[in-house]
A = this chain, B = another copy of it.
Amino acid sequence: MTVTDRFEGNLPRVTAAEAAERIETGAVVATSGFGSVGYPKAVPEAIAAAAGEHELTVLTGGSVGGEIDTTLVDSGDMARRFPYLGTPTVREAANDGRVAFHDRHVSSLGDEVLYGGLAAVDVAVVEAVAVGEEWLVSSPALGQTPAFIEAADRLIVEVNHAQPLALQQLHDIYQPGAPPNREPIPLSKPGDRIGDAKIEFDAEKLVGVVETDRRDATYDFREPNDDDRAIAANFRAWLADEVERNPTMSESVRLQFGVGAIGNALMGALGDADIDRDLVYFGEVFQDGLLDLVDDGTLESASATTLALTRDGQDRLFDAVDRYAEDVVLRPVDVSNASELIERFGVVAVNSALEVDLYGHVNSTHVDGTHAFNGLGGSGDFNRSGLVTVVALPSTAADGDLSRIVPMVPHVDHTEHDIDVVVTDQGIADLRGLAPTERADRIVAVADPEYRPALRAYRERADDYGGHMPHDLETALSWPRNRQQKRE
């Protein structure tokens, strides 16, 4: 049943300022938004404009735009934030202690809010393309919106006229029930649909409906550079071998890529690849790189929780939603990133990282181990449950001044137990079946040649102390330590 009107029934229409008044100081506010799109815009700005500091706890599905992660920080209204840092402003605030931040796996945030004791949601603020008295059709970012609405006492909806009504065709809303009587998620194929386009809610929760007309800021990816292309070529070579070897890939390959320029380059390379298999995307974020693959039929289907597209990409999709909806499904992130589905489908997880160490531990979130950078997103969901887990990253950062292959990462987001393959612009380190010192051989070989002597020298120092995973604890962290500066 297609929704044809943006408003249906007797709705509590209010201005953004009036809606903001329904959010008390100290409230826990959970919003829609993921991949920097689909987040509420007017109500956060109205909160910021209102008098006083609201000391809000703000939860989102994932990344959101400046109306939340800049404006509410600058206005002093954000006290606490889970699970992602969407802008430089909130990142800085998390690092200097103005905002209390903790990073969570995006897949489990709904469970944590509903059952796990993370925070008791007072108000859900959700951007929608249409709303009725007891349902809404979400903007193009599903994230944890269904769980947030279920957890919240009150619901405020922003209906954004800039988001096409036709987006409903992409949505497939299925909510896992409550443990211990939760059912298996009944999804047999990555591209199937198991739910409805609408998110339903208890009519009593709806306390405000606000109208807006503003497009998302959208992503603005840098163009792939030489390193990205080299990484993509190495990944493609690895994948071409893997599909021959892996008995689960005789017909199709299910892939997930992390968001960003590297992800886009990797997807671009798939189009060129001579891989005689159906390609299926079972991931978190639908990016520009997938549009071409859908268009040319390389991709059989794509499942994600949000559209993290450039402006051009958005235009392209918005202009032909009907056609893309045949192959593209958006799901709540507790479905798109569900461990049971990632395992069921045997997904190859491909994610970037800040740095990797000699033994395959991965730092995705904390620069020099101390300063938060964006967030974990779904990398932990896919790295933990993927059939094969690939970390794809440039061998250096800062124009070559830093090696991303280091003796010991100062913060671990993904452990040696979860990482199978490291791909850089320098090559492929397939770590499967190897002991730590053997893994280190392979990993040094994909470091930038300039840094290999220093890594080898570290290994020699470490080896003097012996053990299964040798380290010289005196110098293991010397690279980030040499950058550390006392604050003024």
Question: Which A residues contact B (CB, under 8 angstroms)?
Answer: 80, 94-97, 100-105, 111-112, 114-119, 178-186, 188-190, 242, 245-248, 252, 254, 280, 338-340, 343-346, 361, 366, 368-372, 376, 380, 384-385, 387-388, 410-418, 420, 432-439, 464-474, 476-477, 480-481, 484-487
Contact = CB atoms under 8 A, between A and B. Distances in A.
A244 to B, nearest CB: 11
B480 A178 contact: no
Contacts of A97: 437
A116 to B, nearest CB: 6
Contact of A464 (B242, B247, B487): B487
A84 B181 CA distance: 33
A49 to B, nearest CB: 27
A245 B481 CA distance: 43
Contact of A346 (B179, B280, B480): B179
Given A366-B469, A368-B473, A435-B101, A179 B339 contact: no
Majority SS at the chain A contact face = loop
B415 A413 contact: yes
B417 A254 contact: no
A169 B104 CA distance: 41
Contacts of A477: 473, 476-477
Given A117-B432, A435-B80, A180 B252 contact: yes
A405 B228 CA distance: 41
Contacts of A366: 467-469
A80 to B, nearest CB: 7
Contacts of A380: 415, 417
Q: Which 4 residue pairs of A and B lie closest in terms of their CB atoms, listed nearest first?
A: A179-B346, A184-B184, A340-B340, A370-B467
Given A102-B439, A115-B248, 10 more contacts: A102-B433, A103-B416, A117-B246, A117-B388, A183-B188, A184-B184, A338-B340, A370-B465, A410-B476, A473-B480
A369 B180 contact: no
Given A119-B433, A179-B343, A467-B371, A417 B411 contact: no
A190 B481 CA distance: 48
A469 B411 contact: yes
19 contacts: A80-B433, A95-B466, A97-B437, A111-B343, A112-B432, A114-B247, A115-B248, A117-B420, A180-B346, A182-B344, A182-B345, A184-B340, A339-B343, A366-B468, A370-B473, A372-B468, A372-B469, A412-B415, A473-B484
